[in-house]
Amino acid sequence: MSLEVRRTDEGLELELTGEWVAQRVPAIESGLAAVDLAAARQVSIATQRLSALDLSGAWALRQLLSRARAAGVAVSFRGPPPDQLRLLEEILADTSPAGAPAASGPPARQPLTAIGRNAVLAGRDLLQGLAFVGRASTTLLRGLARPRRLRPISIARHVYDTGLTAVPIVALIAFLISAIIVAGRSGSAFAAELGSMRLNEEVDALIATGVDPFEVLVLPRVLGLTIALPLLTIIADLTGLTGGALLCRYLLDMPLTQYASRVTEAIASTTFWVGLVKAPVFAVLIALAGCYRGLQVRESARELGRLVTVAVVQAIFCVILADALFAVLFMEMDV
């Protein structure tokens, strides 16, 4: 069964199950045709048990929604509507008349109006960011239940891209001064990659074929960087200690044995493990910022450049904020 129907006092509860793909459209359409909308005031639709949905299945679902609305029946979803349905609505809603004059410029805004508009946009962006994190988390939980959906080959590729290829620059900077470089390097790369895919409509193509872009594009990058950053942290620690040893040897004429003993005295035994605990958290923040802004790209290359910059700034801000919170936490724990 691809559709379960329950009649309640309020109307109908529909639960979509199984695969709603092109090969099963005849069976799906026959099931939808059997849905009796008579005497129903509202229809509630649940999609949590859908295992696959492509544009053909989404079109059949849209036909049902159109039939319900034409009959005066209110339609609601339990949870967010499917992305495939949103994609169809965006395509069909593009009905702007040809030759319409373009606006000469933005209307004049009063200061209070601008403040209110910016506050609303910031609140909306915050809610969308929380929804992005929530969806990435649910995708991870589904992947843990079915490990093959975690796509280990893709994760391995991103470990290579974000970890092994970053070793030279991370080692160089750690050797000289030590700095946060992964936020700028990997965060911008994720935003640019996904933004380019949005501009080329590759993400829409994935949605149209019933593939979850979070499972294919977001989760492997998050897990890949989460694996790679602790390894880069170890390399940066070793390189930083080596750089300090060489500088002390040749600038201060300090023997290496004395340097090693002073390092052992100055650095607590927990310092190394504290760094390893923080690294995966920083990796998740950097990857989510890059992926989130990359998937927001629309319409133009100018927007791509702007959101790549925003991704880098937000990734660095999140890392600094998380580091401050860790400092307070470890101080309270006397670590």
Instruction: Specify the pLDDT at position 5.
Output: 86
Query: Quick check: 99 pLDDT over 60?
Result: no
Instruction: Specify the pLDDT at position 192.
Output: 92
Query: Quick check: 302 pLDDT over 50?
Result: yes
CA 299 from chain center: how many Å?
Answer: 19
* Cα distance between residue 150 and residue 144, in whole Å: 7
Tokens 């796509």 belong to residue: 151
pLDDT in tens, 46-95: 888 888 888 888 888 888 888 888 888 888 888 788 888 888 888 777 64
Q: SS3 for 47?
A: coil
* Cα distance between residue 5 and residue 279, in whole Å: 48
Strand ranges (DSSP E) for the chain? 3-7, 11-16, 18-20, 42-46, 50-53, 74-78
Phi-psi region of 312 (alpha: psi -120 to 50; beta: other; left: phi over 0): alpha
- The domain over range 3-89 is classified in CATH as 3.30.559.10: no
For the record, the structure tokens of 102 come out as 């373009």
Q: Average pLDDT, stretch 17-27?
A: 87
Helix%, strand%, coil% for the chain, nearest 5? 70, 10, 20
147 neighbors 223 (Cβ within 8 angstroms): no
Q: How confident is the model at residue 284 (pLDDT cuts 50, 70, 90)?
A: very high
Q: Which residue type does 207 have?
A: I
Q: How confident is the model at residue 167 (pLDDT cuts 50, 70, 90)?
A: confident
Query: Quick check: 276 pLDDT over 50?
Result: yes
pLDDT in tens, 198-246: 888 898 888 888 888 898 999 999 999 999 999 988 888 888 888 888 8
Query: Quick check: 3 pLDDT over 80?
Result: yes
Instruction: Specify the pLDDT at position 122.
Output: 87
Q: How confident is the model at residue 293 (pLDDT cuts 50, 70, 90)?
A: very high
Query: Quick check: 291 pLDDT over 90?
Result: yes
Q: What percent of the chain has pLDDT over 90?
A: 14
* Cα distance between residue 217 and residue 203, in whole Å: 9
More confident residue, 297 or 103: 297
Average pLDDT, the chain: 84
Among 118-122, 185-189, 288-292, which range has the highest average pLDDT?
Answer: 288-292
Instruction: Specify the pLDDT at position 17.
Output: 86
162 neighbors 279 (Cβ within 8 angstroms): no
Instruction: Specify the pLDDT at position 100.
Output: 44
CATH 3.30.750.24 segments of the chain: 3-89
